[in-house]
Structures are given as structure tokens and as C-alpha cells.
């Protein structure tokens, strides 16, 4: 993640973009690349991309039902991800919709951390099917509310590989999608700056 200067209200917002699908043939990396390219020119965001497919997280979690601790290599990988999430001041989740919900690999990542999400804003870029992934986003809002995160109202929704995305995984209607991305990013920055100031003045106690 690029360096930023100063904790002030106008400092660049350190933002982690999470590619939430690990399925073969996924469109997630293309959608994330489009989003990061579109908002990458902004001077108020510094982006760091985490792809769940690169993390290779085990499904089992230690500490329950006598499960053993993770091997050292996995613990090291988790510590590296934890540091990146903790340093972030905002998040953007790129997710498809699977069976009216979001991918298990994304939930596996979210559930491994807690304080790293707290009192920070979360935006969404969703894709897939007639709903454009909006049902996945609605369920993610419930999950992040439980983790004391703040989800921004507007999202980016790409409706189906057969209608909203081209063969390259990029939006067909670029003008509408870019407008939606700008609106969501504007809200993310507003909430990110407001919550940054609030955390600096009074640590969150959730």
C-alpha cells in the first residue's frame, strides 16, 4: 500500500480492495482491475489489493473443538494479512453472487479478523446474474454490521456476464459504471475521513 502522510482529516485514505471469489474462471480479478484503474487516479485514495485466491486459507479454524493450531506458514500468512487490514482505513469488497449470497472464501477471510474491520467504512462492487450481485451485498451488510463496520449506501453493481460484462470481464456500459464507482468512492472517502477523525479523538470501544 502506498505511503501516506499525516493523520489529518484530508490525508489520503488507505483502502484495501478485496477480491472475494476464488472460483476457477472467475471475473473478480478483471472487475477489481477495472475498479482500481478507474479510481486509481484519485488523489484521496491509496489502494492495496488482497485476492482471496492468493491466500490459500484452510477451512478449519483453530481453537474450537480441540482443533490444532495452524502450521507456522499459515500463521505467518495470516499475520501478514492482519497487518494490511489493520493499516487500512477503508475497504472495498469485490464480490459475485453465488446462490443468493457471497462466496465461502470471502466469509472465511472476514471471519478470521475482528478489530481490523471496526469503525471503518466498507464499499461494494458486485457482479453476476440478473441482480448484479446485490443479494450478496445485502447479506454482506449484515455481516459487516456485526463486525462494527459501516457500509456505505451506494454500491457498484454489474448485472451478469451476459449483459453487464464483456468477454474481458469489463463493464459494457462504462459511463454508467464509472459514475457509480465515483459515487461509491466519494461516500467511502467521506465516511473514511469522518471515522478516522472519530477514532483519533476517541478509540472505538465496540
Instruction: Confirm whether 104 is domain-assigned.
Output: yes
Domain count, the chain: 1
Instruction: Confirm whether 91 is domain-assigned.
Output: yes
CB 60 within 8 A of CB 24: no
- For residue 149, give its domain range: 13-64+71-200
Instruction: Confirm whether 206 is domain-assigned.
Output: no
Q: How far apart are the C-alpha atoms of 164 and 94, rounded to whole Å? A: 15
Instruction: Confirm whether 100 is domain-assigned.
Output: yes
Q: CA torsion 141→146→151→157, rounded to 10°?
A: -20
- Going residue by residue through the chain, which has 206 residues, state the pLDDT in tens, using 9 for 90 and above: 544 544 566 799 999 999 999 999 898 998 999 999 989 999 999 999 999 999 988 887 766 555 556 777 778 888 999 999 999 999 999 999 999 999 999 999 999 999 999 999 999 999 887 788 999 999 999 999 999 999 999 999 987 554 466 676 667 777 778 889 999 999 999 999 999 999 999 999 86
Instruction: Confirm whether 131 is domain-assigned.
Output: yes
Q: At what angle do helices 104-111 and 134-146 cross, to 10 degrees?
A: 10
SS (H, E, C) 71-100: CHHHHHHHHHHHHHHHHCCEEEEEEECECC
Instruction: Confirm whether 5 is domain-assigned.
Output: no
DSSP code string of 99-158: TTB--HHHHHHHHT-STTTTT-EEEEEEE-TTTTTHHHHHHHHHHHHHTT-EE-S--EEE
Candidates 192, 104, 87; CA nearest to 140 is 104
Model confidence, pTM: 0.88
CATH code, domain carrying 122: 3.40.50.360
Instruction: Confirm whether 3 is domain-assigned.
Output: no
Instruction: Confirm whether 97 is domain-assigned.
Output: yes
Amino acid at each position: 500500500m502506498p505511503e501516506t502522510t499525516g493523520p489529518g482529516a484530508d490525508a489520503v485514505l488507505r483502502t484495501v480492495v478485496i477480491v472475494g471469489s476464488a472460483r476457477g474462471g472467475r471475473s473478480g480479478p478483471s472487475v477489481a482491475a477495472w475498479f482500481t484503474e478507474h479510481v486509481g487516479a484519485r488523489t484521496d485514495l491509496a489502494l492495496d489489493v488482497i485476492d482471496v485466491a492468493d491466500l490459500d486459507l484452510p477451512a478449519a479454524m483453530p481453537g474450537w473443538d480441540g482443533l490444532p493450531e495452524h502450521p507456522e506458514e499459515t500463521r505467518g500468512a495470516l499475520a501478514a494479512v492482519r497487518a494490511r487490514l489493520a493499516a487500512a482505513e477503508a475497504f472495498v469488497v469485490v464480490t459475485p453472487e453465488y446462490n443468493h449470497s457471497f462466496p465461502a472464501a470471502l466469509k472465511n477471510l472476514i471471519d478470521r479478523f475482528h478489530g481490523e474491520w471496526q469503525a471503518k467504512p466498507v464499499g461494494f462492487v458486485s457482479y453476476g446474474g440478473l441482480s448484479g450481485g446485490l443479494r450478496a451485498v445485502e447479506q454482506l451488510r449484515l455481516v459487516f454490521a456485526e463486525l462494527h463496520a459501516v457500509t456505505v449506501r451506494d454500491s457498484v453493481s454489474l448485472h451478469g456476464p451476459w449483459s453487464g460484462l464483456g468477454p474481458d470481464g469489463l463493464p459494457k456500459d462504462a459511463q454508467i459504471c464509472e459514475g457509480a464507482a465515483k459515487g461509491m468512492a466519494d461516500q467511502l472517502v467521506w465516511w473514511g475521513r469522518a471515522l478516522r477523525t472519530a477514532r483519533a479523538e476517541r478509540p472505538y470501544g465496540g
